[in-house]
Amino acid sequence: MSDFPEFIKFLYEEYRHLNSGSLASYIPELTKADPNWFAISIVTKEGEIFEIGDHLQNFTIQSISKVFVYGMALEDCDRETLLEKIGVEPTGDPFNSVIRLDENSKRPDNPMVNAGAIATAGLIKGSNATEKLNRMLDMFRRYIGHDVFIDAPVFMSERATGHRNRALANLLLNFDIIENNIEEILDFYFQQCALVVNCHDLAVMAATLANRGINPIAKKQAVKPCYVRDILSVMYTCGMYNYAGEWAYRVGIPAKSGVSGGIIGVIPDRAGIAVFSPLIDSRGNSVRGIKVFEALSDQFNLHLFDSPLPKCSFLDISKNSEELISKPLKVTFDKSKSL
């Protein structure tokens, strides 16, 4: 057996006691998370699974949903129509910033910040709110491969406290980006954020994007392959809040994080990676999640701009990965301690 599963265990042991960061508290229900939860899941495009920790622990997807609803909007509207309403420029601002929309762009900069995600929610087709919600749930079902549901207390909690999002929606209406059904659009947005997932599900969803939109376990098409490139592009440039640039530099994997502590990463044509740990930094990214992704990227040359190495694919686990494991790491991997 290759060292790859051992390396995942090693990372889990290495970072499980890293306790910096804090739980998101601006959505009151999210403070009920256990700060110790920690999971790493990897699903290859062939459907192989490597995972460790609390990978079956449920939590709400939060901002990671933006990736998938954006895919839905691409299918509903097509690329150029969508671009007229929502840009694809990274902002360098916090995800819930209001100022930029008002002072500069008058159009959301990208679909990964809240302004853009709310605008995206407003473009989803359906004759009424129920039909739109059902279409959204169907879309998530295809990515996840089993039934899905929404965490009602988290939805209600955010609906009751999401005043910034309400402000953004009003500005979007003012700039003719959305229509005058603000409460319906916000409900849709809060519902997508309150979708219940676990780390395993997230890795399957990421693997689906890695596999040209086909869920590698359920073997179902979740999104049209022609839009996967667009989705991955905004993940790469805008997916990690105002850490997106440094993430692209250090990790180099199209990714998206959420304030509940999940991060997904897509290695095109190879695998989906998900890490879950609810302790987040000041920008909203999981602290342990960043560490795990950095180490994986370093160790297995997963940065998009790493030059291809012979036998560097961790998916090819039948091949000996000694050479990779011996590469210098920011963390020290002592194989004698591996489980």
Give the catalytic positions in this structure: 63, 66, 189, 241, 259
Place of tokens 């659009």: 185
8 Å CB contact between 68 and 205: yes
The CB-of-95 to ligand GLU minimum distance in angstroms stands at: 5
Please tell me the distance from the alpha carbon of residue 288 to that of residue 316, in angstroms, as a whole number. 26
8 Å CB contact between 61 and 198: no
Joined tokens for residue 6? 């051992």
Q: Checking DSSP bridges between strand 59-60 and strand 196-197, what pairing results, if any? A: antiparallel
Taking the least distance from each CB to ligand GLU, the nearer of 68 and 95 is 95
Taking the least distance from each CB to ligand GLU, the nearer of 8 and 186 is 186
Compute the C-alpha angle 301/227/300, nearest 5°.
10
8 Å CB contact between 97 and 111: no
8 Å CB contact between 258 and 114: no
Taking the least distance from each CB to ligand GLU, the nearer of 14 and 158 is 158
- E-only strand ranges, the chain: 39-44, 49-53, 59-60, 196-197, 255-257, 262-267, 271-276
Within 10 angstroms of residue 87's Cβ, the number of other Cβ atoms is: 18
The CB-of-219 to ligand GLU minimum distance in angstroms stands at: 30
Applying CB under 6 A, the residues found at the interface with ligand GLU are 62-63, 95-96, 114, 158, 165, 193, 258-259, 284
- Name the residue number minimizing CB distance to ligand GLU: 63
Taking the least distance from each CB to ligand GLU, the nearer of 41 and 242 is 242
Joined tokens for residue 60? 């709400």
The CB-of-64 to ligand GLU minimum distance in angstroms stands at: 7
Helix or strand or coil: residue 49?
Answer: strand
